[in-house]
Chains A and B, each alone.
Chain A
């Protein structure tokens, strides 16, 4: 249960991301476990570029300067698959070739299959999806899919989580419920979170620091 550390933190030190020598954004932030840093800004302001840098998937046309620390370890140069940073997108992106339980098991660390199955059932009933283990992801509603995606990230035992407009595809009632559930679970696990959104109510619900990225200067 590595996720209940007191000193979980994600630290962005002196980051500057450039596109062809033009600075796109600069950032210097520390997010403690259980805190949410919300990043807002119009499209083109570099929100998703920032997420790409955080996950180690920055496209070639961008250059980045700065360091990324996760729990005091420098992971700036670590490959994306060794970063232990979970991702939650606006689409659930569940694997259609696996069942609901298969999707969650895919994310869990290797182990005894019975223990894994018990954990999955437990987690599913925690979020109100008891008994849906063997369903195909496509047969679930959008809200249910979002919850399975959340479980998939949480049970992979990440050390930090990035939310990329995670609720924008849900209608407002569902949005509120799912949002509450996500933040609750993340606080329970004491994980540092960065959320990218352009919905003011997401930022309010996150109840943390909010950063506004500006539109980059238009080149002639």
Chain B
């Protein structure tokens, strides 16, 4: 039919052909984007793993080692303090994960039905985008012997006139690391859980079952643990595992807060890789394999704990006990929440103070002198790092955004979600310790003689940006009412027109949110920037970390604050735009209302 039509109207023919070409191109691009997305995630990770696996067993042609052997592992075992390194990595991740989990549950249980939950969510939300390095610096400043806590308690409580010698931070037991990781993981877990239970259908069911439990005489906290938690834990499991995997191999936190002799395994591996003695690379690669096993055993331990808790608690779920000292616990949680928020606020305030502090003698809680000198000198030097952060972030986020949107469009057109396999792949860079594959990736990039540092770094960032952008956009895209697209198609709109003029505008806010998130993730990357960039590309984050151990506290504070400000600016922009949109909508509504009122009166 259409063929006949076009042959009748010759004038339209070139235009039609052009749109047809565009349509075909679009459908091809859409068809291949899921495969490209998976490839971009899976190839560097697997290639990187291979690039670590071979040297780990002694095969490193660059050093003329082409025989497989176990020397790397032998050296590893003989390293002094290796047991402490492993123990530190293992326990700091398990304990911090457990603490973050328990605190999340207590907050949820105590405020499940209260407006405070939303308020706490809003308070903790911004911490999510604070880079690990900046958070670690803030916490280090807070707990150090001359930090804000010691200042506020001295001399009236402690009697200290000068900073005493206590073990925090850098304590050999990893307490500071645990503190830092817990505070950073808590908002992530809480927000992921709240996001999961905000799904309309599930939320209605949970609220109703919670009320059933209350009406059956269950006290609120017990009602949450017995009636709600068993239904939401399955949704918390994956974020929980991501936290544990990250914590077991993180570098920034232990670098800034942890002990040096010996450090955690991940930090030690990084040092070996960076050693001038290139033969240490074999030991480092073996270490990376060991790191993988530690991460796996942390995840396995969590699984064991989960099964154990299930076995112990399954009977008591329906034993009819309505309260376990709920009223007491509620008071404790209230106090704890206040302390928690106070602790975080104090850490941030302390950092702002340091960045403007001139002369500041010990027990005084406020600086005696306020100066802007540190900011001035830092701003002179930080311009290139800021530009680098921005350009890497923009490139990585744009690619991530385009790939994600096209992949989701593919899903929509084919009416099917990604396969289970693909969904797991998207999490891959978050689950596999980056220290275990990034070195292999560097080695691969060296092997193919890729000298384009900027592109290499941006692609490495993409590995970590893409999962977050995808996860953040997928829900909204999948919830998009497909009837709009059907209506548009029935009016003769082509798929590309529907995509560009219908789907994208409808998703403007989620897309903006995903972009801000992608930028924030990219800004915070330390290890990929350092390793893939080979130290030639400095970002605000790499500068902040290298300044954290060594430079003056005041300069360090300025850098950490700049590091926090970058994502904050991105999110504030989004917030401003959304407020504007809301106001416009409200204006339109008001105008309509006035109009209808006037019509009524006139009648």
Contacts and interface: CB of A to CB of B under 8 A. Distances in A.
Q: Does A pair with B?
A: yes
A81 B317 contact: no
Contacts of A89: 208, 212
B202 to A, nearest CB: 11
A81 B218 contact: yes
A107 B231 contact: no
Interface in B498-544: none
Interface string A102-119: 110111111101001000
Interface in B194-223: 205, 208-209, 211-220, 223
A93 B205 CA distance: 7
A85 interface: yes
A67 interface: no
Given A97-B230, A97-B231, A106-B226, A81 B320 contact: no
A114 B220 CA distance: 27
A220 interface: yes
Contacts of B317: 97-98, 102, 106
A116 B320 contact: yes
Please provide the 9 A-B residue pairs with the shortest distance between their CB atoms, ordered closest to farther.
A97-B230, A105-B318, A110-B320, A102-B318, A87-B215, A106-B318, A81-B214, A156-B216, A80-B214
B227 interface: yes
B227 A113 contact: no
B414 interface: no
Contacts of A153: 216
A133 B214 CA distance: 23
A179 B227 CA distance: 27
Contact of A55 (B213, B215, B223, B226): B215
A96 B231 contact: yes
Interface string A88-99: 010101011110
Contacts of B115: 60
Contact of B217 (A82, A97, A101, A116): A82
A60 B557 CA distance: 43
A63 interface: no
Contacts of B420: none
A35 B407 CA distance: 60
Given A95-B209, A107-B216, 19 more contacts: A80-B215, A81-B218, A81-B220, A85-B215, A86-B215, A87-B215, A91-B208, A95-B227, A95-B231, A96-B231, A97-B231, A98-B318, A106-B213, A106-B226, A106-B318, A106-B320, A110-B321, A156-B217, A220-B600
B597 interface: yes
A168 interface: no
Interface of A: 55, 57, 60, 80-87, 89, 91, 93, 95-98, 101-103, 105-111, 113, 116, 152-153, 156, 220
B154 to A, nearest CB: 43
A81 B319 contact: no
B63 to A, nearest CB: 56
A159 B542 CA distance: 66
Nearest to B218: A81
B553 interface: no
B231 A81 contact: no
A110 B319 contact: yes
B412 interface: no
Contacts of B321: 110
A109 B320 contact: yes
A152 B218 CA distance: 14
B478 interface: no
A117 to B, nearest CB: 11
B322 interface: yes
Nearest to B204: A91
B211 A57 contact: yes
Nearest to B234: A97
17 contacts: A55-B211, A81-B215, A86-B215, A89-B212, A93-B212, A98-B318, A103-B318, A105-B318, A106-B216, A107-B216, A107-B320, A109-B320, A110-B320, A111-B320, A113-B319, A156-B217, A220-B597
Most buried by A among B208, B230, B319, B321: B319
Most buried by A among B318, B322, B600: B318
A81 B223 contact: yes
Contacts of B319: 105, 110, 113
A96 B223 CA distance: 15
Contacts of B217: 81-82, 84, 156
A81 B213 CA distance: 8
A81 B219 contact: yes
Nearest to A52: B211
Given A81-B217, A81-B223, A156-B216, A108 B320 contact: yes
Contacts of B216: 86, 106-107, 152-153, 156
Interface string B103-117: 000000000000100
A29 B338 CA distance: 44
Contacts of B320: 105-111, 116
A81 B208 CA distance: 14
A27 B230 CA distance: 39
Contact of A93 (B209, B214, B600): B209
Most buried by A among B208, B209, B320: B320
Contacts of A220: 597, 600
Contacts of B220: 81
A158 to B, nearest CB: 8
B310 to A, nearest CB: 10
Contacts of B211: 55, 57, 80, 87
Contacts of B223: 81
B359 to A, nearest CB: 50
Nearest to B215: A87
A121 to B, nearest CB: 15
Contacts of A111: 320
A101 B317 CA distance: 12
Contacts of A101: 318
B119 to A, nearest CB: 14
A153 B213 CA distance: 10
A94 to B, nearest CB: 9
Given A107-B216, A220-B600, A93 B208 contact: yes
Interface string B224-252: 00110011000000000000000000000
Contacts of B208: 89, 91, 93
Contacts of A83: 215
A82 B219 CA distance: 8
Interface string B573-603: 0000000000000000000000001001000
Contacts of B214: 55, 57, 80-81
A110 B318 CA distance: 9
